[in-house]
Chain A
Amino acid sequence: MKIIVCLGNVPDTTTKVKFVEDNTKFDAAGVQWVINPWDELALTRAMELKEDSGNSVDKVSVITVGGKNTEPTIRKALAIGADDAVRIDLNPEDSYVAAYQMAAYLKNEQELHIVFAGTESSDYNGAATGGMLAELLSVPSISSVSGFELEGDKVRISRDIDGGTEHLLVDIPMLAIVHKGIAKEPRIPAMRGIMMARKKPLNVVPPSDVEALTEIVGFELPGSKPPCKMIDVDNAKELIDLLQNEAKVL
C-alpha cells in the first residue's frame, strides 16, 4: 500500500515578509524555503507507518506543484525518507490550480490508497488544496486529523473538533487533511538519507491545461499599532483596572 504526501514549498516561518512591484508580488530575495510545516508532519507520520511492520504500507511518494526552485525542498523530503517524488512543473496561481494538477496526475495511478495533505500552507493560508483534491478525485476527505492509524484496510482517525476529539473509522481510499498532533516532531534528514536522496527518482511532469478561479491582485502589510502601554510591576493591579475601564474587555 502506498501513501502519497502533498508537499508545499513555503518561505521559512521566520521570514520577514516584504512585497515588491508596487506591492503585487512577494519578495523572494534572500528567502529560505522549507517544507510546509504540516506537510512535514504528514511526511513524518507516513514514514512511521511505512516503518511499522504491522501494516502493509510499503511506499511513500511525495508530489509537488512548483517550479525548479522547489527541488531542494523535494530533495529534503526524499532525504527524510520518501521513496520517490513527482514535480508538476508549474507555479500554481491558486489552490484550485494546484489541486487540479495533482488530481490530473493521480488519476493515472493504478490504485489510490491514502493521500495526506497539510491543513493549509503557511504562505497563502488557503486551507483548500487537500479538500479540492479529494473532490476532484471523488474520494472521502477527513479534515483536522490529529491521529492516524491503519487497521487492515481501514483507517482509524482522530479528528479534532472544537473542545474535543472524535474517533472515526474510514475506508481506503481516502484523503487525510492533517494538522498538529499527527506526528510529534517533524523528522530531520540524517546524513545517510541525504546521500540516498540524490539517487531517488524525482520525476518532472508537464502541467495540464487549467485556468485559475481566483487571482491575488495586491498585498498590504499590517498598519502599525500604538506602542505597548507599560504598567509598573509594583502596581500590577492597575492592569485589571485598565482592562476593565479603558479597553473595556472585562
Chain B
Amino acid sequence: MAVLAYMENWDGKFKKSSFELVSYANALAELLETNIIVLSLGPVSEDELSKLGNYGARKIITVPDVLFKTLDNQVFSKVISVVAVNVGAEVILFSHDNAGKALAPRVSVSLKAGLVSGATGLPLSVDPFTLRKKVFSGNSFARQIIKTDKKVLTLAKNSIEVKENRGSVEIEVFQPDVQAGDFKIHMEDVQKQTGKVILTDADIVVSGGRGMKSPDNWGPIEELADLLGAATACSRPVSDEGWRPHQEHTGQTGKIIAPNLYIAVGISGAIQHLAGVSSSKFIVAINTDKDAPVFEAADYGIVGDAMKILPELIQAVKEMNAS
C-alpha cells in the first residue's frame, strides 16, 4: 500500500503546486496509515528532487531519461501505471493542471481506478472514499465517492497549505521498458513568454475588461501588475477583440485561476467570468457601475472610473514599495 504522487516538472524545476501536492500526499498517507512515494518523469537534478523532501517526500522514484522531456500522454500514463502497480499504490495523485488533466484519466482507465478530478481537500471520509470537488464551473460543490479499491485524484490549486516536513530522502532511479519509437508526439518547437509572471502560477493577478475601452488603455494595468509582481489577465470579449492575447482570457472557457488576490478592472462580473476566478482568496472590483454583479463576488470594491483610479493605486503601491 502507498500513496503515489506524480510530480510534474517544468524544465527540471518544481513549483509551488508541486509542494502543495506533496503536502497533500503526506496528509493523505497519514490518514490512510500508509507511506508516500513520489514519481518524477524526465531529467530533474538530485538537488531539485531533494526539495520535495522538505514537504514530506521520503521516497522518490525518478526516470531521468531525456525522452521524457516532452509530455506524451500515452507513454507517461503507461509508466505511471506500471510504477503504481510495482509499489502497490492505493491512491495515485496528480495536480489539477494541464499535465494532471492529461494523464489522470488514462491512468484511471488503465488501472480501472475511479477518478475524482479537481478535489478541493482531503477525503471527507475514507470508507466510502468521498471527496469534495467543484461542479458547475465553481457555482457549487459535489461529494463524489470512488467505488474502486484503487483511486485516482487530481488536486485543485490552493486546496491545502504547503507544509514543511523535513527529513531524509531516498532517490531511486527507474528505467521503464520504453523505447523512442513508443513516443508518438514529436516536438517541433516551443514558444515561451519570457520575463512575465505566468498567469496560472501568479499570487496576484490584475485583470482588465471591456470597461478599459481600448487596448491603448492597458498601460496602467501593466504598470500596476509590474509593481505588484502580478500577472495580467482579461475577460473574454477583450481577448476575442484581440485587445489582449488569448492566453490571458480567464473564466469558464478560458483559464481557471486561484491567486491570493484578483483585481478586476472594468469587468462586469458575468457568471462565466467569475467561474474562472471565484477560488481567489481576495477579489477587488473597480467599476463605474455600482450595481455590477462583480461587487457581489468581491471583497473590496471601488465605484469609479478605472482610468482615474489606477494611477492613484499605482502611486500608492510605489509609496508602499518605497517604505
Contacts and interface: CB of A to CB of B under 8 A. Distances in A.
A122 B44 CA distance: 36
B135 A14 contact: no
Interface in A86-106: 94-96, 99
Interface centre among A119, A134, A171 (most CB of B within 10 A): A134
B73 interface: yes
Nearest to B270: A14
Interface string A211-246: 011111111111001101111110011011111100
A178 B201 CA distance: 22
A144 B79 CA distance: 21
A165 B296 CA distance: 35
B253 A240 contact: no
Contacts, number: 272
Contact of A128 (B115, B260, B304, B315): B115
A214 B102 CA distance: 19
Secondary structure class of chain B's binding surface, majority of residues = mixed
Interface residues of A, number: 85
A30 to B, nearest CB: 15
Interface in A164-178: 164-171, 174, 177
Contacts of B173: none
Contact of A243 (B136, B282, B301): B282
A88 to B, nearest CB: 18
A13 B137 contact: yes
B303 interface: yes
A152 interface: no
Interface centre among A122, A177, A243 (most CB of B within 10 A): A243
10 contacts: A127-B117, A140-B184, A142-B102, A161-B98, A171-B184, A213-B148, A217-B145, A222-B140, A228-B301, A230-B303
Interface of B: 10, 70, 72-74, 77, 96-98, 101-106, 108-110, 112-118, 130, 132-137, 139-148, 154, 184-193, 196, 198-201, 203-204, 228, 240, 246-247, 249, 252-254, 260-261, 271-272, 275, 278, 281-282, 284-285, 295-304, 308-309, 312-313, 315-317, 320
